[in-house]
Structure 1
Amino acid sequence: MKPYIYITRKLPSEVAEAIQAKYEVGMWGKENIPVPKALLIEEAKKADALLTMLSDPIDESVLNAGDRLKVVANLAVGFDNIDLKTADKRGIAVCNTPDVLTDTTADLTFALLMATARRIVEASELVRQGKWKSWSPLLLAGHDVHHKTIGIVGMGKIGETVAKRATGFDMEILYHNRSRKLEAERNLGAVYSTFEELVSQSDFIVCLTPLTDSTKNLFSREVFRKMKKSAIFINASRGPVIDETALYEALVDKEIAGAGLDVFEKEPISADHPLLKLPNVVALPHIGSSSIETRMTMMRLCLDNIDAVLSGKDPLTVVNKEWKVRV
């Protein structure tokens, strides 16, 4: 009997076909709708491996559903949707997809920064809606990006890659991180700052920090009040890092100039979300790593991790280093 892999989202046929000779594969048949929790638990009861999305809650009820599960491969760098303590207790390897999406996510982050600064979405809608009647000196005038100060909160690999892109715009680079990044300081001219210094001095504050107990609601109303009134806030990390009510109030009260958001506290958001009512907010549907090339690479890495564990080998990118497959 072949080991059974369950995939929680519809993947391209060429990806799934590559493993069907060796494994039995089950797959949720819809691309844009999450697998129902009850069905996920039923599949987990018989699965040797799960290939999951960041939006799937892989909690205790899923991990304890059966006695065959050996590996969960998450199609993301983040893994805050997975109960690591239970996975460790059950001897289940949890894998992610680091490194392969660094450049792509940095591209999107900087694109979001530029779109927000230069009011690209507003300008496009003006044309599409037939409201462009004439040229005027300050028609949809935005903010320059070049020669400004960018402050990066969370200087991991993606943060460093965003900083690299900022050098092309002759930007001053501040960063805040749990540890100093001396190589980035040498090679990119990045300057380590306290969180308070970065927030108050930066023209663009870019949030790339992971979601932890200490970073949840890191960006509060008090923090937004410390920013420049001309500051633009960008979040491409995790939604709960921001107090969304505080951000909304800061924008309405003109305490900051704008925000570009690829992530939200609860996803997907509804069309009546307060932040979507504001013209100085650019909102994207969590597409940081969404290029064809990168997403295909991520899928294959997930399957390579699964194949390694089910073949008795060490996975390529394991999160919980102390995992041990149950005998």
Structure 2
Amino acid sequence: MKTLITARFDPQYINELNNYATELRFDGYGVNGIKMETGRLIAALDGVELLICECERITKEVLEAADSLKIILCCQSEASSVVDVEAATQKKIPVIFAGGENAAAAAEYIIGLILCVSRNIVRSDRMLRSEYGVFDGSFLGGDTGSSFVPWDGPLMAGKTFGMIGFGAVGLQVARLTHALGMELLIYDPYVKQPSIQHLNAELVNLDTVMSESDFISIDCPKKRGVKGLISRDKIGLMKNDAYFVNTSCAWVLDYDALYEALSEKRIAGAGLDVFPLEYTLRKNKFLSLGNAVLTPRLASATRDIVSHHTRIVLEQLNLMLHGKMPNFICNPQVLKN
């Protein structure tokens, strides 16, 4: 198959890809970090049967012009963010994606954010670097003692972790929280209790997660994210010493209500990796809060991500070409038919 690769691609898998591809071409985002515009992408797809993409927009216009295209491998955890799946389905083009590519990375980051905000890691680092920094005996276990109190924080062990939504990231978080000796509460209307029995977790309603958890994290896929699900009323159910983390979907959460809860110390803290569009850097009022740790959408940013998504999409391609249904496919009906 003539193949166009516009994704970042791990070269260690080239030999495996050569089992299926007779001609390889690399272009676009994966080469220079610049997404190909529609006209150039259409021209590059001339005669191409297999497309491996990541950030280029595979629109209806592109698909209608790509007469030879037979398979799309999208190196994203949700292909619909860049591929017009409906248009691909109409042309009977299977769209395979890298399901769970960043799940472990995001799960580790969630735990990291919680530790940073709850154990005051970022605040204490900033203090020591500032002109007000003091490093006296209290930090070394000395008997001065008093200045230690503002920097202490809760253990995670023995506490309750609440998950809102339970996808691939949630599964990885569950494994980490289990290792830390935590209880796990899950709210997800799409999940059944038997499927999580081995995790020692309990399915509960949203109000229970919000009111009984010591740490809460959102894991709502975009296609399931309900706008405003975590409303002012839901935030009002949280314990005064609870922490909230969002690395998933901004629109699920009422950020204004969260800001008020943090600024009024009605909850202990928050770690935020995603924000609504209106929260630009200059207008992000969370920057003024000492009990919030903010990062610029870095939860999935690891040096291993390219290797992971390359391996996953090629595994799925191998399944399909051997007559099996891929695990991560947006439109399985095109193969069933």
> 2:128 is matched by which residue type in structure 1?
V
Q: Give the match for residue 281 of structure 2.
A: 271
From 211, 217, 235, the counterpart of 2:246: 235
From 155, 179, 197, the counterpart of 1:168: 179
Distance, in Å, in 2 between the alignment partners of 1:17 and 1:325 is 29
Change (3 A) 1:258 1:180: same
Q: Is the 8 A contact 1:40 1:62 kept in 2?
A: no
Higher Cα Rg, which structure: 2
> 2:68 is matched by which residue type in structure 1?
R
Residue pairs, 1:1-327, within 5 angstroms: 3-8=2-7, 10-11=8-9, 13-14=11-12, 19=17, 22-28=22-28, 33-35=33-35, 37-38=37-38, 41-42=41-42, 45-46=45-46, 47-53=48-54, 57-81=57-81, 82-99=83-100, 101-129=102-130, 131-135=132-136, 136-178=147-189, 179-185=191-197, 187-212=198-223, 215-266=226-277, 270-274=280-284, 275-305=286-316, 316=326, 317-324=328-335
Cα offset, 1:286, TM superposition? 3.4
Cα offset, 1:85, TM superposition? 1.9
Change (3 A) 1:78 1:114: farther
Q: Is the 8 A contact 1:220 1:246 kept in 2?
A: yes
User: Mean alpha-carbon deviation: is it higher for 16-25 or for 294-303?
Assistant: 16-25
User: Mean alpha-carbon deviation: is it higher for 246-255 or for 86-95?
Assistant: 246-255
> 1:4 is matched by which residue type in structure 2?
T
Distance, in Å, in 1 between the alignment partners of 2:225 and 2:103 is 24
Q: Is the 8 A contact 2:5 2:30 kept in 1?
A: no
Q: What TM-score do the two structures reach when normalised by structure 2?
A: 0.78
> 2:282 is matched by which residue type in structure 1?
D
Segments of structure 2 that go 5 or more residues without pairing to the other structure are: 137-146
| Secondary structure of the corresponding residue to residue 24 of structure 1 | strand
Q: Give the match for residue 143 of structure 2.
A: none
> 2:333 is matched by which residue type in structure 1?
E
CA RMSD of aligned residues (A): 3.5
Distance, in Å, in 2 between the alignment partners of 1:90 and 1:321 is 13
Distance, in Å, in 2 between the alignment partners of 1:221 and 1:211 is 21
Aligned length: 320
Identity %: 25
| Secondary structure of the corresponding residue to residue 26 of structure 2 | strand
| Secondary structure of the corresponding residue to residue 138 of structure 1 | helix
Change (3 A) 1:129 1:307: farther
Cα offset, 1:193, TM superposition? 0.8
Distance, in Å, in 1 between the alignment partners of 2:256 and 2:171 is 29
| Secondary structure of the corresponding residue to residue 137 of structure 1 | helix
> 1:137 is matched by which residue type in structure 2?
F
Change (3 A) 1:45 1:232: same
Change (3 A) 1:100 1:29: closer
Distance, in Å, in 1 between the alignment partners of 2:87 and 2:244 is 36
| Secondary structure of the corresponding residue to residue 334 of structure 2 | coil
Q: Is the 8 A contact 1:211 1:240 kept in 2?
A: no
Distance, in Å, in 1 between the alignment partners of 2:14 and 2:183 is 45
Change (3 A) 1:4 1:52: closer
> 1:83 is matched by which residue type in structure 2?
D
| Secondary structure of the corresponding residue to residue 323 of structure 1 | helix
Q: What TM-score do the two structures reach when normalised by structure 1?
A: 0.80
